[in-house]
A and B are shown apart, each in its own frame.
Chain A
């Protein structure tokens, strides 16, 4: 069994991306990340030795992020079904307005699908299982979410002179 530190080092960034995709960057995503790793550390000794660590951590983080969404909404949801509606809740205290707008503009289902499939690298079927949805619905939500982010990104790029510079998307950004 690997030292837990190894899991934090290997998967901490991906888990934070998932939390931020669902919650936007800011204190809520940080809380979800912290709660996820704390709860994973508690359960870690009982984890089967051959478990997929990243999928396990992403599952926990997704659950914690949804907990935060529910707390934020201040209206307890009695079932696993979450209302599919654009986030009107605001994401306070973040330092990246561009990203906040891009993410907040997506309905929760699309944020989840983009986070789990594109950021955490889960196959559509696993993302569907995690969110209590179907493979087809997750595929569609991920595609719709990506289309909106793409449109947002293009809008954001238009003021710049060289919109189509192909290398602009390579590697680390900023």
Chain B
């Protein structure tokens, strides 16, 4: 989403056209904001997104009308994530920080150690079947506590599906908010994490300190 410098465009037509090509970036920002509002009001805006800076890097937050549908780490490449959602959900996507204000606020509170439970509407359409069952269970693991992949497999009624629990956590579309970071290997090792091992260590450290 890199915008060209809207003030400068070489039209090759000479200085007189600079009169017409000169644009105020704030004006484009105002028009964008108006588009967000009008598109949402007419019900043709399927996905909205924003980004927020956190101690584990810049997170991409994406929501549908129903709620938060995707949280992505920078390591997942936000543009790839949005391109994927354009294919699987809808290409009617606009940046709209206003619509994600409460998600951003709750994440800020969480990273400041002032929030233990997220209270956000979630749209879980990106997880299916057994993976969805696993992800539904995760918020039951209390803040500051952990479970092993085997314990989670047992909790969702399929004790042998330890590897499947691992892959459910590894493909969690809503990391941080749905706490897959609270699931560890039975030997106490971290196991993998979408946002990288440092991010998982940071989140567990944050929660154990509070």
Contact = CB atoms under 8 A, between A and B. Distances in A.
A1 B91 contact: yes
Nearest to A147: B16
B39 A149 contact: no
A134 B79 CA distance: 41
Contact of A16 (B8, B23, B87): B23
B5 interface: yes
Nearest to B48: A5
A149 B93 contact: no
B140 interface: no
Interface stretch (A62-70, A71-79, A122-130, A164-172): A164-172
A8 interface: yes
Given A13-B9, A99-B19, A102-B20, 7 more contacts: A6-B1, A8-B35, A16-B31, A98-B19, A99-B22, A119-B17, A149-B20
Interface residues of B, number: 45
A54 interface: no
Interface string A1-29: 11111101110111011001100000000
Contact of B91 (A3, A146, A152): A3
B76 interface: no
Interface in B1-18: 1-9, 11, 13-18
Nearest to B13: A118
Given A3-B82, A8-B35, A34-B31, A44 B92 contact: yes
A104 to B, nearest CB: 12
Nearest to B29: A12
Nearest to A98: B19
A35 B49 CA distance: 22
Contacts of B17: 114, 118-119, 146, 149
B31 A153 contact: no
A108 interface: no
B42 to A, nearest CB: 7
Interface of A: 1-6, 8-10, 12-14, 16-17, 20-21, 30, 33-34, 37-38, 41-42, 44-45, 98-99, 102-103, 114-115, 118-119, 121, 146, 149-150, 152-153, 168-169, 171-174
A38 B90 contact: no
24 contacts: A4-B92, A4-B93, A5-B82, A5-B94, A10-B4, A12-B6, A12-B31, A13-B3, A17-B9, A17-B20, A21-B20, A30-B27, A34-B35, A38-B39, A41-B92, A44-B92, A103-B20, A114-B20, A119-B20, A146-B16, A152-B16, A169-B15, A172-B22, A174-B22
A173 B18 contact: yes
B53 interface: no
B44 interface: yes
B8 A171 contact: yes
B6 to A, nearest CB: 4
Contacts of B16: 102, 146, 149-150, 152-153
Nearest to A156: B19
B4 A41 contact: no
A137 B23 CA distance: 29
B35 A38 contact: yes
B137 interface: no
Given A13-B4, A152-B16, A3 B83 contact: yes
Contacts of B27: 16, 30
Interface in B76-115: 82-83, 85-87, 90-95
